[in-house]
Amino acid sequence: MSKWIQVCELEKIYPSTGVCALVDGKQVAIFRPSEESIVYAINNMDPFARSNVLSRGVICEHQEQLWVASPLKKQRFNLLDGSCLDNSEVSIEAYKARVKDGQVEVQL
Amino acid sequence: MSKQKLVIIGNGMVGHRFIEDFVEKADLEQFEITAFCEESRVAYDRVHLSSYFSHHTADELSLVKEGFYEKHNINVLIGERALTINRQEKVIHSQTGRAVYYDKLIMATGSYPWVPSIKGNESKDCFVYRTIEDLNAIEATARRSKNGVVVGGGLLGLEAAGALKALGVETHVIEFAPVLMAEQLDQQGGQMLRNKIESIGVNVHTGKNTQEIVVGGETARNTMKFADGTELEIDFIVFSTGIRPQDKLAKQCGLATGRRGGITIDNRCQTSDPDIYAIGECASWNEKFFGLVAPGYNMAKVAVDNILGRDNEFTGADMSAKLKLLGVDVGSIGDANGRTPNCKSYVYLDENTSVYKRIIVSEDGKHLLGAVLVGDTESYSDLLQYTLNDIELPKHPDSLILPAHAGGEKVGLGVDALPETAQVCSCFDVKKSDIADAVAAGHCTIGAIKAETGAGTGCGGCIPLITQVLNSELKKQGMEVKNHLCEHFEYSRQELFHLIRVEGIKTFKDLLAKYGQGYGCEVCKPTVGSILASCWNEYILSPENNGLQDTNDIFLGNMQKDGTYSVIPRMPGGEVTPKGLLAVANVAQQYELYTKVTGAQRIGLFGAHKGDLPDIWQQLIDAGFETGHAYGKSLRMVKTCVGSTWCRFGVQDSVGFGVELENRYKGLRTPHKIKFGVSGCTRECAEAQGKDVGIIATDKGWNLYVCGNGGMKPKHGELLAVDLDNETLVKYLDRFMMFYVRTADKLTRTSVWLQNLEGGIEYLQEVIINNKLGINEQLEKEMADAIDSYECEWTKTLSDDKQLARFAHFINSDAQDDNVVFTPERAQKRPAFFEEKAPIYNISLEDA
């Protein structure tokens, strides 16, 4: 049912940073934690500030998992499932993401 | 099984504290909780009520975390007053006619301001000082008044006087007793306080018995008449003449009350009806009631424990207090008036700087019974521990209050001297042993201790003490006191700095491989990014460094709450040409940026879309500006006054020197931001002593102050050297800056750094001036390298197409963020509140 949507070339994302993509009208934050061809996608909106900023956060590792720290007040969101490390009652949407033939693709 | 019905009447500080404690300890499944809140807003911080005048948002005073009551299913009846209690049927009726049944009832009805029956006190120019509504009314009246008076020179009265002063009206204080704060201070202490308060322009009248307030006067709206025949013409009057327990409801339903009022409670906080508890200011325990918040919090805890079937008793309260009234530090401990038979006193009086200290000791001189401190309360916490824990005094107790130059020693009561039962945090009654237990259970940071024990989460005044206990406990358990950066690096910032420098490490990846583990996080990445920048001054947005940069650095601008940025070009020393102003104005107009003069003598443009930043900066750079590093942990600016060039008082060219210094140190990454000030004469118009580096002109040169701070914890800079010429001063500064960069912990301002530096300013003088460590040559060379390799980050960024691509909001579209919406305000714009944004956006939020 869901289909993979091409977003951009992997090369456009500096290793250990994120970018924001417009996918089907949705703001999706895409992260590339290292030089490897692995990417993660979550919603770009910081639910605390209700601002579209998460793609601009620092990628971090805690409890052997990867998170992004919101650039506004540093709450951390899991790159795989969108859960929030600092407040278990908050979570955001997470999306499937992959690299295929040098292109980043996500599934909403 | 049906749920037990718990009802709390009163949602003040204590009523709310009860709920918090209950939520923490009880199985909420078994309870249905209802709270009556007579005021129009839920619990707020009455202790810091005066700060409402400076912030003006009730939210900031609120004690209730957003969503707290909803989350725990607590039904708060806002604006509802409990009118009657029927104890037979166990039901409460409110003024709206609602009936609420209870199994257990907690009365936390607090107190009401008592106003003496003076003729004319019902005038609309008369107020009390208790709620946010009172404050709003006082403020509205103050706006159309020239002067105001507070009747009552006690603790709260002086607090109110401070508020009146802040509102800008001529302020008077009237006290019936011959001294101020008669409850807490002795006569001489009261006199010293009075001198200090008068010196800041508050008029104090003691020994005045107000008899009548009549409408009208020659210069003001009202006239107060006193028993001694004198009069005072005044526009409005605030009564702060004491409080009385709010026990009306208790009397109505026949609960026992104390002789002086208040709902009678036993040690378990139970009233004469075992299903009803009373806590806080409304309660009378052994015919005493307590007008402070700490005993109320303690009662809340006792009541919670007893309702849950645990043993806990209220055993009275220590009424010692330390506070700042009208800018004067005041402390009172135990028997401040020396009423204990045969007690002896030691007194220290310094009329020059207005300091008064007195300690009252037992007949045998071994125990501290009380203390009064005015003008200097540094020794308060140590003295308090002496009384609370009955620690034996040193041989010469006066050494506890004498200044160092007079042979006094720092009290320096080591935490190891405290007994296990010593109360460390009085807000939440946390004992030294509680902290020790938490450490033993593996909570080894201040954050973890706070979360585990609650200590330090109230007023926060005990945090230094908790830190000492924590470190001492860690040491005892053979654990090293760690200042490791984070889980990825078992090194402190200072250690990493040396590793990076000595081994010539240039990237985070190399450092992590050699000295760290895992991937890195939001703590170590920016810290290492900053160290790399300090050491090698390489471009912070290079592909290797980019991912390390925090919120502001990564796009070279301060991110605002809506995700837009501010743009602040450098205006060294606060200088800007008319032509430069035109360029700033043009770009602000073109991009519709909110424009404001910042606190750092420059112009800030707010609300820039990330995608517009490169164009905006291109225009500014074309006009001759460069980045102002307002986003960086680096030198922000040098604030200057106009100095001898223009000012008829100036003795040195403060602007010229300020510009030179700003250009010298701009761009250098430091552990935290750095601010300079340069004043052209001793009048100090640049407020240099509140800066990390403060330079004040003298006839012979410059005095150099370091490690001052404004902001959250204001601190005056300390004098490092006097009468320096420009060249020597720059040399000292090179060394000072680099020494700070090398040795400070992460995100530590210079003031805290100096505080933690063993040996303090004297040690720093030894290092900077006398080359105690033999590193000065090296420090100067490192600084010279940094200065040589400076380049404007924005200029560099604009020359790199790959960088520019990063600034678009979307990687795959030219659209802008449609969630960034502005609303007009005072002829400019501001970010729209969430409610002001188009409703259609709510829908996409729902599924976000």
For B366-417, write each residue's pLDDT tens digit: 899 999 999 888 888 788 888 887 788 888 888 888 887 776 655 455 677 7
Give me the half-sphere count of Cα atoms (radius 13 Å) on the Cβ side of residue B763. Answer: 10
What local confidence, expressed as pLDDT, does residue B846 receive? 43
Write out pLDDT tens, residues B179-204.
Answer: 898 888 888 889 999 998 998 889 99
Per DSSP, the three-state class of B134 is: helix
Quote the DSSP letter at residue B336.
T
Number of other CB atoms surrounding residue B17 within 10 Å: 26
Strand partners, B91: B86, B101
Q: Which of B306, B307, B302, B295 is nearest to B262 (CA)?
A: B295
Task: Tell me how close the Cα of B447 comes to any Cα of chain A, in angstroms.
Answer: 13
Contact criterion met (CB below 8 Å) for B247 and B109: yes
Whether A20 and chain B come into contact, CB under 8 Å, resolves to: yes
What local confidence, expressed as pLDDT, does residue B768 receive? 93
Q: Which CATH code for domain A5-107?
A: 2.102.10.10
Q: Angle, to 10 degrees, between the axis of helix B463-476 and the axis of helix B446-453? A: 110
What local confidence, expressed as pLDDT, does residue B843 receive? 43
B226: tokens are 């006193």
> Distance between CA B387 and CA B410 in Å, rounded?
17
Give the β-pairing of B263-265 and B283-285: parallel
Mean pLDDT of all residues in B26-31:
91
Q: Testing the interface with B: which of A36, A60, A87 to mutate, by most B Cβ within 10 A?
A: A60
Q: For residue B575, what are the CA distances in angstroms to B578, B654, B692, B793?
A: 10, 12, 21, 21
Strand partners, B379: none
Residue B826 phi, psi dihedral angles, 5° rounding: 40, 55
Verdict on whether the full-model pTM lies above 0.80: no
> Distance between CA B32 and CA B636 in Å, rounded?
54
Average pLDDT score over chain B: 89
Mean pLDDT of all residues in B831-838:
82
Cβ neighbours of residue B408 under 8 Å, at least 6 residues apart? B398, B399, B400, B401, B402
Mean pLDDT of all residues in B475-490:
75
Residue B624 phi, psi dihedral angles, 5° rounding: 100, 5
Task: Annotate B613-651 with b (16+ C-beta within 10 A) or e (fewer).
Answer: bbbbbebbbebebbbbbbbbbbbbbbbbbbbbeebeebb
Query: pLDDT tier at B487 (50, 70, 90 boundaries)?
Result: confident
Query: pLDDT tier at B847 (50, 70, 90 boundaries)?
Result: very low
Subunit contact B522:A60, Cβ cutoff 8 A: yes
B chain contacts of residue A80, beta-carbon cutoff 8 Å: none
Of B519, B563, B806, the CB nearest to A52: B563
Q: What is the DSSP string of B260-315?
A: TSSEEE-TT-B-SSTTEEE-GGGEEETTB---SHHHHHHHHHHHHHHHTT------
Residue B724 has pLDDT above 80, yes or no: yes
B705: tokens are 């102050």
Task: Tell me how close the Cα of B550 comes to any Cα of chain A, in angstroms.
Answer: 7
What local confidence, expressed as pLDDT, does residue B654 receive? 96
> Distance between CA B833 and CA B103 in Å, rounded?
43
Whether A103 and chain B come into contact, CB under 8 Å, resolves to: no
Mean pLDDT of all residues in B788-801:
92
Q: Which amino acid is at B107?
A: M
Subunit contact B522:A74, Cβ cutoff 8 A: yes
Nearest CA in chain A to B525: A58
Per DSSP, the three-state class of B558 is: strand
Contact criterion met (CB below 8 Å) for B509 and B544: yes
Mean pLDDT of all residues in A80-97:
92
B835: tokens are 């409610």
Q: How many CB pairs under 8 A join A and B?
A: 108
B434: tokens are 């509680």
Residue B334 phi, psi dihedral angles, 5° rounding: 50, -130
